[in-house]
Structure 1
């Protein structure tokens, strides 16, 4: 057993002890105490009583010993009952709560680039879904190990004291069983790793069929057949992995459990003991009975050890993943200036400058943004427009330092943004993305987003300014209404446009100096879009506002417009200047304006 295996399992014990010390101590020690009680009850007690009868010892000696063992066993049973019914459930909750909180804290601040790395993302999903079970399993393995070691030591010492030659049978059984169980557990871990991505794919198909998000698409399109095939193909791959990896595991289990446990200990060794008793007559009747009991306990203990000790190795492989994730350090934070060298953020809204910025997503070859340079002036509204895939959303992610640039730099108030504290810099921004999400909690929580001491009046004001006021007035519970019905039958389901207004209300409520709106009106009709944009600009008259939009009706209100194509700024200026230029922006705007006119004619019939 190498040092890393011991280190990882010891890590779990220490982690559990910090979260729930009484639970950890009792879990580890009660099994060992139980093994000691059982030794004196089932191994030593028969020898003591039969020998007392054989050698005519006083009855009182037998009685007092029996009362002593009964009292100790009763005390253990009482303590064990309290532990399993009171201490253990609470302890598990305490450990899991601490562990999940740490994992969630890391998940909430890890770099977006991690989601672009399939290997890291697989480990992340595993840590989220398996950590509580694996932590309990690791502690349980240590509990069983301590109890079994106590059992084997006491019973084994008893056997050796009466017949020391038995140590050779014991060592042969232990060595063989451990050898094959180590290999079997390694194969089990490899199988588990191979199954994880396949199970995720199969689980994805399952989610598609029960999530409401996909219900309409499934009913209006023949995609169900393709998903059924994907599910079937994935199951075939899973079965192939199982077939290819489990065959050697069967042979390894047979060798460990039968050849080196049952046959060696329960077969060869029992025959050897019987010869000592019946042919050589060197043991008392009590010793003979206790040796049989001790042999069985050593046999069972060795079988358990041969599985438990390798289980430490298997646990170690899983614990290593948890430790690795808990030790995660943000690369963005690492590339920031040390705390002692960080610059204070200005108390006023300062210019933001992109200076020769290029960016390539990890794992892709072609840069998405190429040599971008422009300045966001304070208290101005800026629109960034372009076709799908031009790099508009990526630009905003760089702006808010969700990614770092590959080339060039971004300056705030003339200082590279890496010179500021990462979280303090991000707090400058209030943003809504085109792929925003609402949470299964109250409307108020969906607007305040966990900010301390939420102000109800300000939440309502933000919702009204985002255009949600009419819907809010129809809600009997107001901002206390639960969004979605996932956990509350009295909750409400919002339309796409209503949900988008809630997402925009978040930005207005946060009251940050810089507002970023990525496709803020994609789910709104033109009139609602116009009213919302007007309200946003009115509320943000003393802020810097960045619009990302396909729909150019938004851009007319902007002080400056940048048009991006294939990762480069190809046109810039006010709406009037770009229309006078009669370039790609003017073409795109006129094309959309014509569509609006056609839509209006169809609606009015004029």
Structure 2
């Protein structure tokens, strides 16, 4: 068992919850003494009543006092236990917040490539809601202190009667600990191995419960298929858990049988003691209770030790996630980019492949982009356009080659520096279920309340008019998940995304097919506006509509991850290769009227 992470967890708990720890320590010590006090009071109460029965002239003063003491002890114990339960709950909520915050912080900082790895999702799923697993070992430690105090006090009492009672009470502890520890470990590894099935069951369950997929589930009548798939994965997990539970409870029944035999042995010793020694009726009454309490204490200590072992595995798993060195930290990321690029962007033999995959998505790509230049990147689906953009913006680290901004390799630059310099709109941009103002302003949170700038950005993206027509204007909630919001069309959402990009106002603007849901003429209009807006900006755009590429200073053509052509529209058309073929095929789909309108827009 790895104790180093238990130590880290203890330090973390003491850092955020010293009050909880020391109050819990005090209450558990107090509650550990209570059973011995209660046993002593019971013994004295029985003996005092026996004396009164033997001698009716004695008063009931002592029994009444002992009864009151018994009541006070029971009431105090209940009060202290309930206070402890409340403090535990309060601290568990605080701890769960802190642990989840660290998980979210880690998830937000890992390289984007992690989100293409199913093992990352499995690990993330396992540590969700780690608060109880994190706290259990320390509650178990405190519980052991409490139980140990009870245990020692019972042993002292039993030893005062006869040493063999102590032996019969102790000998059952070893098998109890072994069985509980073994099944604690098995439960963890079962969860570990079943994580993929559990995640798939949760995913399929989500498809049946969320609004985004509801229409397709009904249109294709997928209910039965998805229910069967969910049931299959859910049952795999259930069967494995039930099989383990069956073995576990059979073992516990066996243990209880062994404990009962030892308890019977202790009962025989008590009978023998009654015959051989003079013990008072009070001792006789409480000896059985003391043996039972001792065995229960041993059982509880074994359970708590097994809990510590089991939950230490969860703590290890948590720290393995939080402390995982996913990024290459061999480079010091402290170089500063210039406020404005002078030499531009350079890619030198850049290649990229996903971890544990030798297939290169990008292959030996080399080109330069001058400051203020407008570049269009085109290619068929799967040619690597979006992956290239992710490398260019630092979201993916190249497996080979270098990406330089003014001759500075971006692997030496802090990610936030690069992010401040670049605005990017992806084809699958995020539709935030926030207000219209927040949806636009979120690209620059520090300026989110600048309504004038937000409105100016939305006007340039042709979003202002339809936003003003919403029931609460810019304060209208978009989407229906978090409140009584409104749905937008695909084209309206894309205008919101374009407004978001304009609002950030970065030096470099990258558009990864952000206008795919717009009609061709509107799309070209948008790109023309971007041309005007980004007059002094370096602009890179990907578009599946070839007509818009004519707005670019230079066009790069990707095929199977490699740049196969580069030049202006006219130069590439004269080559009569891949670009010319793509352009010709696309224009054949449109009529002459469309071509005229396109020419008018481009003029």
| Counterparts of 1:564 and 1:365, CA distance in 2 | 20
Is 1:483 equivalent to 2:478 in the alignment?
yes
Aligned partner (choices 414, 430, 433) of residue 437 of structure 1: 430
Q: Which runs of 5+ in 2 are unaligned?
A: 53-57, 598-603
**Secondary structure in structure 2 of the residue aligned to 1:401:** coil
Is 1:219 equivalent to 2:218 in the alignment?
yes
| Counterparts of 2:396 and 2:439, CA distance in 1 | 25
Q: 1:189 to 1:583 in 2, by over 3 A?
A: same
How far residue 61 of structure 1 moved from its aligned partner, in angstroms, is 6.4
2:124: which partner in 1?
A: 124
| Counterparts of 1:149 and 1:519, CA distance in 2 | 67
1:336: which partner in 2?
A: 331
1:303: which partner in 2?
A: 299
Deviations 1:517-565 (A, max 9, x none): 1111111112321222122222222221111222223211111110000
1:549: which partner in 2?
A: 543
2:55: which partner in 1?
A: none
Is 1:259 equivalent to 2:263 in the alignment?
no
* Matched ranges for 1:124-523 at <5 A: 124-127=124-127, 129-242=128-241, 245-256=244-255, 258-264=256-262, 266-276=263-273, 278-332=274-328, 334-337=329-332, 342-350=334-342, 351-449=344-442, 451-454=445-448, 455-489=450-484, 491-523=485-517
Deviations 1:383-403 (A, max 9, x none): 111011111111111111122
Asked if structure 2 preserves the Cα contact closer than 8 Å seen for 1:335 and 1:418, the reply is no
Asked if structure 2 preserves the Cα contact closer than 8 Å seen for 1:28 and 1:142, the reply is no
**Secondary structure in structure 1 of the residue aligned to 2:355:** coil
**Secondary structure in structure 1 of the residue aligned to 2:546:** coil
| Counterparts of 2:454 and 2:61, CA distance in 1 | 81
2:582: which partner in 1?
A: 588
| Counterparts of 1:538 and 1:282, CA distance in 2 | 106
Deviations 1:164-222 (A, max 9, x none): 22232222211011111222222222222233211211122211112222223223325
| Counterparts of 1:561 and 1:507, CA distance in 2 | 22
Q: 1:477 to 1:143 in 2, by over 3 A?
A: farther
How far residue 105 of structure 1 moved from its aligned partner, in angstroms, is 0.9
The RMSD of aligned alpha carbons is: 2.7
Q: Which runs of 5+ in 1 are unaligned?
A: none
Is 1:40 equivalent to 2:32 in the alignment?
no
Q: 1:20 to 1:406 in 2, by over 3 A?
A: same
Is 1:30 equivalent to 2:27 in the alignment?
yes
Q: TM-score, normalised by structure 1?
A: 0.89
| Counterparts of 2:59 and 2:529, CA distance in 1 | 99
How far residue 382 of structure 1 moved from its aligned partner, in angstroms, is 1.1
Deviations 1:465-493 (A, max 9, x none): 2222122111232222222222212x122
Q: TM-score, normalised by structure 2?
A: 0.90
Q: 1:66 to 1:473 in 2, by over 3 A?
A: same
Q: 1:548 to 1:132 in 2, by over 3 A?
A: farther
How far residue 431 of structure 1 moved from its aligned partner, in angstroms, is 1.3
Deviations 1:283-335 (A, max 9, x none): 32222222222222122222222322111111111111111122133414x14
How far residue 131 of structure 1 moved from its aligned partner, in angstroms, is 1.5
Asked if structure 2 preserves the Cα contact closer than 8 Å seen for 1:32 and 1:146, the reply is yes
